[in-house]
Structure 1
Amino acid sequence: MFGLGKKRTKFGRWLDRQGIKQIEIEKKANLGRATVSRLCNDTDYRPKYETVLKIKKALKQLGHDVPPDDYFGM
């Protein structure tokens, strides 16, 4: 769907299914582009707890009140 054939993380695939753009997460979570890109594309990247909380809060603001297990698989 997105990413021009790049492998996506569980989070990246979840965003794609929900129709949420990475730029929306960047702005709502107040995270840098590189961090959001790593969250969506780097399967070896493990976010800090603070980052997970920012993502959860941003998704809630976007109307997606779901546990991080749904998109991070922690």
Structure 2
Amino acid sequence: MVDLYGLGKQRSKLGKWMDQRGIKQEWLIQKADVSKGTTVKLCNEKDYSPSGSTMKKIIKALREVDPSVRADQFWDL
């Protein structure tokens, strides 16, 4: 079972950022038009780095919440 609130499972920087703002993975799946599997990896795997096109989709969606968000907050570029 995936801990959506980070109460025991390790979370990536993106997962922690989303948890702090109360953003659910389902929201990101819909807004960024990415698969559930990719979203789970993005939120839970610290070393997972998405493709450039996926990264752009994620950042575009997150900017609806925080217009100043940057990809380098979550991934080594």
- Residue 66 of structure 2 aligns with an amino acid whose one-letter code is H
- TM-score calculated relative to the size of structure 1: 0.85
What is the CA-CA distance between 1:34 and the residue it aligns to? 0.4
Q: Tell me if 1:64 matches 2:71.
A: no
The count of aligned residue pairs is: 72
The percentage of aligned residue pairs carrying the same residue is 43
Structure 1 unaligned regions, length at least 5: none
In structure 1, the partner of 2:57 is 54
Structure 2 unaligned regions, length at least 5: none
Select the structure that is richer in helix: 1
Q: CA RMSD in A?
A: 1.6
What is the CA-CA distance between 1:4 and the residue it aligns to? 4.5
The alignment partner of 1:2 has SS state of coil
Worse overlay, 2-11 or 17-26: 2-11
- TM-score calculated relative to the size of structure 2: 0.82
CA displacement 1:11-70 (0-9 Å, x = unmatched): 100100111111000000000000000000112211111111000111123x31111222
Q: Quickly say closer, same or farther: Cα 1:73–1:45, change in 2 above 3 A.
A: closer
The alignment partner of 1:50 has SS state of helix
